[in-house]
Structure 1
Amino acid sequence: MHSPSLAAVLWDMDGTLVDTEPYWMAAETPLVESFGGTWSHEQALGLVGLGLEDSARIFQDAGVRMGVREIIDHLTDEVMRQLAVTGVPFRPGARELLRDLRDRGIKTALVTMSMRRMATTVVDLIDFDAFDVVIAGDDATRPKPFPDPYLQACEVLGVAPSQTVAIEDSPNGLRSAVASGASVIGVPLMVSLAGAGAHTIWESLEGRTAADVEAFHVARLARGAARA
């Protein structure tokens, strides 16, 4: 049994569950260069956790003469091609924590700005029933950093955001999750999470269990009650 205060854990995908950010970056540079532009590592880092439509407009500003949907489809195809070759690159401890949550009967949702077809590909490659709900970039009413994707996941799960923990690796994702009312764990990867509002920072998910997530959530609720 798990604590009744924790109803669900909401997972970001790229950079949190799976280390696909290098795949996105490997797809971005050739795209910009094919139109005679340049693309720096710093520019790529600025897109981490950003909605794909917003990212596509930034590529247009960088000289990519393609429509927003064309850019999204091109990049998604490239990342999926890399996944097909290399498999799913889980972040350390992520798969094990996800499995422990499922074994404990805690609901889970995947909340990603990647397209549903890519999210589905990743989920289908997991060798157990990993998620109750998937909210993808083409499902969200507004992208991260707006709270909509997390609120939509909570609505489908039938839980209040205050009953959930979200796990994120990017400032945009953290802002989205915090604004939804979830308790939020930041697990940094490629960019600093300083000042983005995470309620705690875990340097890695390796060795973390469902009990750790529950303990964090209970402690945060207790701090909130004490302040009230």
Structure 2
Amino acid sequence: MDGTLVDTEPYWMAAETPLVESFGGTWSHEQALALVGLGLEDSARIFQEAGVRMSVDAIIDHLTDEVMRQLAVTGVPFRPGARELLADLREAGIKTGLVTMSMRRMATTVVDLIDFAAFDAIVAGDDATRPKPFPDPYLQACEALGVDPAETVAIEDSPNGLRSAVASGAAVIGVPLMLSLEGAGAHAVWPTLDGRTADDLAAFHTAHHAGLAAEAAR
């Protein structure tokens, strides 16, 4: 969601710095980038190491509240082409799932602002048995959708998210935003989702599995 469907990463960063500084610490842009795509509990422990004297749950709730407050003020900044691609997938009858490390209450807030039924399933950070980069969130989404991971395409913007999706067995497209995806294992990297359609995803999936079959036959 964050960085792939909506460009909320700057909102998270804007919430993080004041939190750390309120406990007398410092927080750099590089430290903030290191958290992109990481599970919220893991992120909260990093904030504790940076001097934030709050519980893991309290840190997660504070940051989520701050990001949601910013969304309420400024609206939801959808990434180029993301909403349009979702609409095309729905029209084509293709099942869709949202896999995010944000809390479910934030994920449902964002999804509710889409003017059509965009997702068949949501797996949020407080649903996952283990967070990204473990494969669990994507495996849980596949189970909820009733599909084999090999039948799916995952789209991610962060190295942690890519590792999670690849480990699940999905065919994975990286669409970079704030971080380089080089070496993170994406099966393809698209500079943007703008102009992409369900047919593009189907063609990518077919080509990916044809490549796997060719490798296995060598």
> Shorter-chain TM-score: which interval?
over 0.9
How many Å apart are 1:87 and its aligned residue?
1.1
Structural mapping, 1:1-228, within 5 Å: 13-228=1-216
- Using the TM superposition, give the Cα deviation of residue 156 of structure 1 relative to its aligned residue in structure 2, in angstroms: 0.9
Offset at residue 29 of structure 1 (A): 0.2
Structure 1 stretches of 4+ with a deviation exceeding 2 A read none
CA distance in 2, matches of 1:99, 1:84: 23
List alignment gaps of at least 5 residues for structure 1: 1-12
Query: C-alpha separation between the residues in 2 aligned to 1:105 and 1:87?
Result: 28
Give the CA deviation at 1:227. 1.4
Deviation at 1:88, TM superposition (A): 1.0
SS state at 1:107 partner: coil
The CA deviation at 1:69 is 0.2
Runs of at least 5 residues in structure 2 that lack an aligned partner in the other structure: none
Give the deviation of 1:223 after TM superposition: 0.8
Q: Aligned partner of 2:191: which letter?
A: E
Which of the pair has the greater relative contact order for Cα pairs under 8 Å at 6+ separation?
1
| SS of equivalent residue, structure 2 residue 96 | strand
Name the % identity: 84
Give the TM-score normalised by the residue count of structure 1: 0.94
SS in 2 for 1:167: strand
Q: Secondary structure at the match of 1:166?
A: strand
C-alpha distance in structure 2 between counterparts of 1:181 and 1:166, whole Å: 10
**Could you tell me how far apart the structure 2 residues matched to 1:15 and 1:206 are?**
14
